[in-house]
Structure 1
Amino acid sequence: MQKIRVAIIEDNATARSTIRSHLLTIGNLEVSSFSTGNELKGALRKQNFEILIFDFNLGQKRNGVEWVQLLRQNQFIRPSTGIIFLTADRLPQTIGQIIDVHPDVLLIKPYTISSLRRALKHYLDYREQAAHALESLDSEQYDSAIGQLTKLLSSGKYSKISADLEKLLARLLMQQSRYSEAVDIYRNVLEKSDKVLWAQWGKLKCQFLMGNWQDCQTSLDSMLGPLLTRDKAFEWLACLSFEQAAYDTAEFYLDHIKDSQLSLPATRLKSLTYQKQNRVIESIDLYQKKREYNRSTKERFDEFTFELAEFYLSIAQNSPPHNRAESLLQARKLVGVASRSQNDLQSRQRHDFLLAHSYVLEEELDKARALTAQEHMTTFSRSPANTLITAALVYNALGETERAAELFDTVRNKNEFSELPSEYQTLQSQLLSAEKNTGMAQSRGEKYNEQGQQLFIEQSFQKALEAFYHALQLQPAMPAFALNMLQTMLMEGQSSYRNVTTVKLAEIINNSELSPSNAQRFARLQATYPQINSSDGEPPPAASDS
């Protein structure tokens, strides 16, 4: 039998050695140990691990949660990789952060070695029974994995690991946009115990992705009290407000979280709320504060420095060419600071694309082209979404619009699997702005509309709704897109999707000039669904620029 590869990431040498020695007695495990996340990342370039055991605090570095997020986003670990967390920190904010990354096991110190062995044996039992489903997950055969898990659960033989199987099944159903089925699982779990956090957040995320914001609001209201869920609930509420262009309300919710406790995506979201209200100085001050808070944590300091550099570039992009010099100077200084001690490919690539973008904004296209011609600038499999957006802006300016469009597609696909609400919202906003700034709004809108039509034919209505929604965001005055979205919502029995309602879509269509075929289609919908002809009590219009 092939051994299961386990990696321990613990900065304390004694603790690392103790955990390793006890794991070796379990048998059939090949155990490696690392003192930092960077050491693990280097090893992952050469091999995979089936299980990662993280300590939350890793000294003056990124914490364990940040490393899990980074490794997942940049595809250093497989979807099936097991995550086990150990922590001595009992603060609700810390436990909440760990739960956000959906660990398979969480042990709070002081734990006994017997409890560690017991938890690991339970996880190994689950992993053995779900082996075929996990293999299908890694090979992106999601329907096969769902079928295998459903069969295991319906057999009734695996009651001890049923919660683990349900958790994985619900996650896969959500990824396949089968939200109603996933919600049923989460509700069944919560009926047995309403304190199961992974089920609470899973249900909420399904409601969000279905565009069912009324239920989202109800769920979030119940999470504002408990310390374990409070900060994240405020993040979710800020996201809902942001997409409805209620930027002052989004800021109000984020103000309930201490600036020192804001995650990187939440900081980015708060900065965007300032920008939308033309409060540039406050955006800069927020990033500067976050840099100071994290000066002793080099990786985090560099990350916020890159973010501030990107913000200065966005200021330059939105300024007249003759008024860009100061913003570009600040951006280049910051990019140099952020990359000074970074020697991995992703940081180098991010540095060079930001520099290339600064040359584009100075109309020094030859310098930008020379930077993009380097070998490390053409590999994007592990590039973060921010780098991909910057690269798309650069390639579009250099006349490579097809390549830019491909990168936009990659960002959209990456964002579908974002774990954090603020990360999803900020990337969606940045992507939408980039698609408009490149002059590609029309072509991108048409592409999303075509995707939606194909998904509608396949009766994948939730995926179709998402595609039509993106099309409408890019071209809010296009009646054909509004009609396609209206028909899909009616077929799904939804009166609203995010900040779009059927009545408001009907109003947009009513006030637009339609082709004869679309006019006939709209008349049929009005006759079949008379409720769309009344605007009583409906919320404000859809299709914001957020």
Structure 2
Amino acid sequence: MQDYSGKRFLVVDDFSDFRSAVKAMLREMGAKDVDTADRGEECIALCRHKRYDIILHDYNLGSGKNGQQTLEELLAARLISHQCIFVMVTAESGQAMVLSALEHEPDGYLTKPFNRATLAQRLDKLVERKSLLKPVLQALDKQSPAEVLAACDSLAQQDKRLLPLCQRYRAGALRELGRHEDLERLLHGVLADRAVPWAYLALGKLLSARNDLPRAREVFEKGLQAFPMQPGLYDGLAAVLEAQGEAERAQRVLEDAVRLSPLAIRRQMQLGKLAMRNEDFAGASKAYRSAVDQGRNSRLKSPENYLGLSQALIAASGDDGLDKRAQAEINQTLSELGEQYAEDQAVRLRGRLMQASSLQKSGDSVRAAQLAAEAVAGLQELGEFLPAEAALTVAAQLQQLGQAEAGTAMLKSCVEVYGDDARVMEGIAKLTDDPQILSGGKEAVELNRQGVRAYQLGRANDALELFRRALALQPKNISIALNTAQSLLRLGGDAPSAELLAECRACLDAVRMIPASDPRYERYQQLRRKAFGA
């Protein structure tokens, strides 16, 4: 048995008798420092002030955060080290519960009831594994992928048996370092030696990011043949199918994943989006409803789930008016949205428009028109770009609510900001046939494409000139502005001139309203730190 006398333990369970029983078991195993908590929120608070070596956390704690949501928070806030052992404990052994808990990758899983021998055996193995991997885990805590690679190489040389344990950490480090060719070679090598689900998932994602969709699809499908109980592989395949235009099949694949592991907010949210796209409004309502329910105590909650549920319920009514039950659910959903995101002006405006759409469906056209007019006035004062999907939804709502001019303005703004995104342009084409709007950004997009190609070929001056011309046509286009700023910084080297810096800052200021949810936001922030020195 391992020596537990110096380990710091935290036992989290809502039943005092169980906490006492586990604490007694740990005392018998030699533990001296054992804290307890009855809620996930208390666990998080304790972890802010003390570093624990081993946490035994019950999955279902009644009201408040469950074990999965607590682990999400601890990892996101870096309140536990990679060296900490987090064991999920539950009285439920059903497939859906187990898979949902394991998706967030706790170090171990224990089913109640268990005795001291079982607990000791499980913890001994976990402590031994963490001890062997200590140099790698220390490098992970330092957020140094280069040191992770070095530690993996060193451990594998010391003991070849550790190689399989190190490969996944090595893959993550290569991904963070952007060494994609090395990562692909590693993953192929792992799969050639033995099939493991994480390698299929990592390789599929790598190929998807490279837009090599046929190969990515093949990898995910092969992975699912070998590991049909891995929900992440379904997610990856669904994303590829959607990108290939097979939205209905993608929805079916995600539905299979949800049946396996239903307690995943992001999966339910993606299923809601796909179902809406496929006009399966009942399916969308169900998925978004689950996402709203699961998000109440989770850091992964999103206003999009509240708005998506409301939109699905409105769409489900078809040409008929909303029935009282649907209207009541929409009112409750939007009321909760307003409470949860009271400080978010964009969300409040979108909620008002959604309420107007529901009232119009219910026959209250006067109140609907009033709310729509209030929303239009607020949109004109909004201090950020709406995300692309949100902007398209708002444009459609404005058209339906009789605010044609405001709807047209929103579509023009979409072209200005997101006109390089083919899917956004497809969405715009569904809402208007105005050639001025549809062709508004074509020249700028083509110049940007040529600039990207020149940049990749190392022709920095040519690339910058092309980006400048594109930006003159579309100064609010996020991609073009970021490409121009990056080219200016590259041209300036370690000591860019005042002129180059000023131009770079102007580019970034033009798109300072980029929403934080945009996938390019982190790149924007990195460029801004370089340009402004902060």
Q: TM > 0.5 between the two?
A: yes
Percent identity reads 13
Cross-structure match for 1:416: none
The alpha-carbon distance between structure 1 residues 210 and 98, as it changes in their structure 2 partners (threshold 3 A), is farther
Relative to structure 1, the CA distance from residue 183 to residue 18 in structure 2 (aligned partners, 3 Å threshold; closer, same or farther) is farther
Residue 10 (structure 2) aligns with: 7
Partner residue, 2:510: none
Residue 178 (str. 1) matches residue 179 (str. 2): yes
Tell me if the contact between 2:229 and 2:260 (Cα under 8 Å) persists in the aligned partners: no
1:220 aligns with 220
Could you tell me which residue of structure 2 aligns to residue 40 of structure 1?
43
1:284-304 Cα shifts (integer Å, max 9, x gaps) = 35535x389x69x9748x969
User: Between Structure 1 and Structure 2, whose CA radius of gyration is higher?
Assistant: 2
| Equivalent position of 1:144 in the other structure | 147
Partner of 2:383: 400
Equivalent residue, structure 1, for 2:238:
238
Match runs of 1:157-306 below 5 Å: 157=159, 161-194=162-195, 196-224=196-224, 229=229, 231-256=231-256, 262=262, 263-278=264-279, 283-284=284-285, 286-288=287-289, 290=290, 299=297
Amino acid at match of 2:20: S
For 1:307, which of 302, 305, 308 is the aligned residue? 305
Residue equivalent to 1:17: 20
Cα RMSD between the aligned structures?
5.3
Quote the Cα distance in structure 2 between the aligned partners of 1:352 and 1:328: 24
For residues 219 and 121 of structure 2, the distance between their equivalents in structure 1, rounded to whole angstroms, comes to 34
- CA distance 1:258–1:310, shift in 2 (3 Å): closer
What CA distance in whole angstroms lies between the structure 1 residues aligned with 2:249 and 2:260? 20
Contact 1:9-1:35 within 8 A present in 2 as well? yes
CA distance in 1, matches of 2:121, 2:377: 52
Does the 8 A contact of 1:96 with 1:228 survive in 2? no
Deviations for 1:438-471, whole angstroms, at most 9, x for unmatched residues? 947656789xxxxxxxxxxxxxxxxxxxxxxxxx
Q: Is the 8 A contact 2:291 2:305 kept in 1?
A: no
1:104 is aligned to 107
Cα distance in structure 1, aligned partners of 2:282 and 2:256: 21
- Match of residue 382 from structure 1: none
Deviation at 1:132, TM superposition (A): 4.8
Distance in 1, matches of 2:56 and 2:379, equals 42
SS of residue paired to 1:23? helix
SS of aligned partner of 2:229: helix
| AA of the residue aligned to 2:265 | L
Determine the C-alpha separation between the residues in 1 that align with 2:198 and 2:145. 21
Give the Cα separation in 2 of the matches to 1:3 and 1:397.
61
What amino acid is the match of 1:251?
Q
Q: How far is 1:250 from its partner?
A: 1.9
Partner of 2:332: 333
Deviations 1:263-307 (A, max 9, x none): 32222122212332455565335535x389x69x9748x969982
**Is the CA contact (8 Å cut-off) linking 1:328 and 1:358 kept in structure 2?**
no
**Whole-Å Cα distance in 1 between the matches of residues 149 and 101 of structure 2?**
26
Cα pair 1:95 1:228 within 8 Å, conserved: no
C-alpha distance in 2, partners of 1:241/1:475? 27
Deviation at 1:236, TM superposition (A): 2.5
The residue number in structure 1 matching 2:71 is: 68
2:445 is aligned with 1:478: yes
Q: CA contact under 8 A between 1:8 and 1:33: conserved in structure 2?
A: yes
CA distance in 1, matches of 2:442, 2:164: 44
Report if the CA contact (8 A) 2:11-2:34 is conserved.
yes
Question: One-letter code of the match for 1:355?
Answer: R
Contact 1:174–1:182 under 8 Å retained in 2? yes
Q: How does 1:442-457 map to 2 (within 5 A)?
A: 442=416
Q: Alpha-carbon deviation of 1:64? A: 2.6
Kept after mapping to 1: 8 A contact 2:337/2:351: no
1:243 and 1:476, CA in 2 relative to 1: closer, same or farther beyond 3 A? farther
The alignment covers a number of residue pairs equal to: 394
Query: What amino acid is the match of 1:400?
Result: G
Partner of 2:137: 134
In the alignment, the residues of structure 1 paired with residue 115 and residue 240 of structure 2 have an alpha-carbon distance, to the nearest angstrom, of: 43
Matches within 5 A, 1:316-331: none
Structure 1 contact 52–81 (Cα < 8 Å) conserved = yes
CA 361–271 in structure 1, closer or farther in 2 if over 3 Å, else same: closer
Tell me the alpha carbon deviations over residues 10-59 of structure 1, each in whole angstroms, 9 at most, x when there is no partner. 34434433333333455677432223322223333444434433334444
Q: Which residue identity does 2:348 align to in structure 1?
A: L
Q: Which SS does the other structure have where 1:238 is aligned?
A: helix
Alpha-carbon offset, residue 165 of structure 1: 3.2
Distance (whole Å) between structure 2 residues aligned to residue 53 and residue 188 of structure 1: 36
TM normalised by structure 1 equals: 0.55
Contact 2:349 2:379 in 1 (8 A): no
Q: Deviations over 1:364-418 (max 9, x none)?
A: xxxxxxxxxxxxxxxxxxxxxxxxxxxxx999864534xx69xx8xxxxxxxxxx
Q: Is the 8 A contact 2:82 2:140 kept in 1?
A: yes
Matched position secondary structure for 1:140: coil
Give 3-state SS (helix, strand or coil) of 1:33's partner.
strand
Residues 1:120 and 2:93 are matched in the alignment: no
Instruction: Please state how far the C-alpha of 1:349 moved relative to its aligned partner.
Output: 6.1
How far apart are the structure 1 equivalents of 2:275 and 2:95?
28
> How far off its partner does 1:234 sit?
3.2
Q: What secondary structure is seen at the aligned counterpart in 1 of 2:88?
A: strand
Aligned AA (1:113): R
Q: Secondary structure at the match of 2:86?
A: strand
Partners of 1:239 and 1:101 in 2: CA distance: 20
- Kept after mapping to 1: 8 A contact 2:56/2:89: yes
SS at match of 1:49: coil
Higher relative contact order (CA 8 A, sep 6+): 1
Asked whether the 8 Å contact 2:9–2:55 carries over to 1, the reply is: yes
Amino acid corresponding to residue 334 of structure 1 in structure 2: T
Structure 1: which 5+ runs fail to align? Answer: 317-325, 341-346, 364-392, 409-427, 447-473, 492-546
Q: TM-score, normalised by structure 2?
A: 0.56
- For 1:21 and 1:430, the matched residues in 2 are separated by 54
Q: Is the 1:3–1:29 Cα contact (8 Å) retained in structure 2?
A: yes
Query: Residues 44 and 399 (structure 1 numbering): CA distance in 2 closer, same or farther, change over 3 Å?
Result: same
What's the secondary structure of 1:478's corresponding residue?
helix
